[in-house]
Structure 1
Amino acid sequence: MLKSVQAKDYMSEKFLKISTQTDLFEAIDMLLEYRLSAAPVVDMEGHVVGVISEGDCLKAILTLTYHEEEKGGKVGDYMTRDVSPVNIDTDIIAVSKIIIEQDLYCLPITQNGKLVGQISRSDVLRAVESFSLQG
């Protein structure tokens, strides 16, 4: 059953995390360099406080352009804040539901409160594909 598949089975353990204090344009460079649609955002203590996505960056650029500002500001000013990391043992169906309901590209994965990975929409689709090939 697909509910037996857990986030840890398909999450990326090599992931980019971005600080709330990172310059917006530096974050854009990082997302492009690593070919990511989004990345977890952490505070100074390393706690997950949000996600910065391509969409967040585009909205920020439009806002800056509208106000004719040249400086980009910090990631913490533009990130998506309403993101609740899930535990490493969360089943893939629950992960899918959160990603869909919150319209996220990726979801931070934690273990004992520590960020240990992230799972993306494509990771979830790989899990579904693998499961369907088994049956």
Structure 2
Amino acid sequence: MESLKVSDYMNTHPVKLGEEMPVAEAVERLLQSGQTGGPVIDVKGKVVGFVSEQDCLQRMIESSYYREQVCRVKEVMTTPALTVKPYSSVLELAQMLLQARPRIYPVVDDDGVLVGTINRAAVLRAIDLQLRSGYQKMAS
């Protein structure tokens, strides 16, 4: 199997969330984008955390129950975020997905700046395409 790079299968237009953003606004962005989570970035574009739908759901339930004030993303984000590099192997990422909780990984350059995201579906797609390509070569 030839090498599969994360950069070939990543989402280059991920939802981006800010630390000071209200959780309700983060939820709106996630819902509009159809993504189940997103990286939290600082003013320089560096990934400082990650927020999932589950993180937001828990806080929104608590907020509605207790009638709390506005909650900020920095209060619910997971930090540090688990990230991968664009030149990382999709197969290595697949192994990480079997071990770790995140369904989405921010893809960062060597300076920690967000360049995209990759999720389980993209990893499955990459491996499936590779396997089908291998089967076609064997059938020829």
Instruction: Give me the CA root mean square deviation.
Output: 1.6
| Greater alpha carbon shift after TM alignment, 72-81 vs 96-105 | 96-105
Deviations 1:24-69 (A, max 9, x none): 0000011001111011111233210111111111121233245x03
Does structure 1 residue 41 correspond to structure 2 residue 36? no
- 1:92/1:124 contact within 8 Å kept: yes
Q: Which one of 97, 105, 108 corresponds to residue 106 of structure 2?
A: 108
Query: Structure 1: how far apart are the matches of 2:42 and 2:83?
Result: 14
Query: Structure 1: how far apart are the matches of 2:11 and 2:17?
Result: 15
Partner of 2:58: 59
1:30 to 1:132, Cα distance in 2 relative to 1, 3 A: same
Report the secondary structure of 2:116's partner residue: strand
Partner of 1:122: 121
Partner of 2:26: 27
Deviation of 1:105 after TM superposition, in Å, equals 2.0
Report the secondary structure of 1:130's partner residue: helix
Q: Structure 2 regions of 5+ residues with no counterpart?
A: 135-140
The structure number with the bigger radius of gyration is 2
The alignment's TM-score, normalised by the length of structure 2, stands at 0.86
Partner of 2:14: 15
Query: Structure 1: how far apart are the matches of 2:24 and 2:74?
Result: 13
Q: Structure 1 regions of 5+ residues with no counterpart?
A: none
The alignment's TM-score, normalised by the length of structure 1, stands at 0.89
Query: Structure 1: how far apart are the matches of 2:25 and 2:69?
Result: 12
- 1:53/1:105 contact within 8 Å kept: no
| Greater alpha carbon shift after TM alignment, 57-66 vs 22-31 | 57-66
Partner of 1:98: 96
Query: Structure 2: how far apart are the matches of 1:25 and 1:100?
Result: 30
| Greater alpha carbon shift after TM alignment, 74-83 vs 5-14 | 74-83
| Greater alpha carbon shift after TM alignment, 96-105 vs 18-27 | 96-105
| One-letter code aligned to 1:80 | T
Partner of 2:132: 133
